[in-house]
Chains A and B, each alone.
Chain A
Amino acid sequence: MDGPLLSAQSVTREYRLGGSTVCAVSDVSLSVAGGEFVALLGSSGSGKSTLLNLLAGLDRPTSGAIFVQGRNLAQLSPIELARYRRQTAAMVFQSFNLLPRMTLEENVELPLRLEEVDRHERSARVTEALERVGLAQRRHHRPSELSGGEQQRGAIARALVNRPRVLFADEPTGNLDSKNGDHILELLHELQSVLRMTIVMVTHERPLAERYAQRLVILSDGKLISDQPLSPSATRGAAASVTASERAPSGASA
Chain B
Amino acid sequence: MVSFLLNGKPRKVDVAPDTPLLWVLRDSLHLTGTKFGCGIAQCGACTVHLDGQPVRSCSTPVSAAAGKKVTTIEGVGATSAGKAVQAAWIQHDVPQCGYCQSGQIMSASALVAKNRAPSDADIDAAMSGNVCRCGTYNQIREAIKDAAANVKGA
A and B, one complex?
A: no
Give B contacts to A, CB under 8 Å.
none
Give A contacts to B, CB under 8 Å.
none
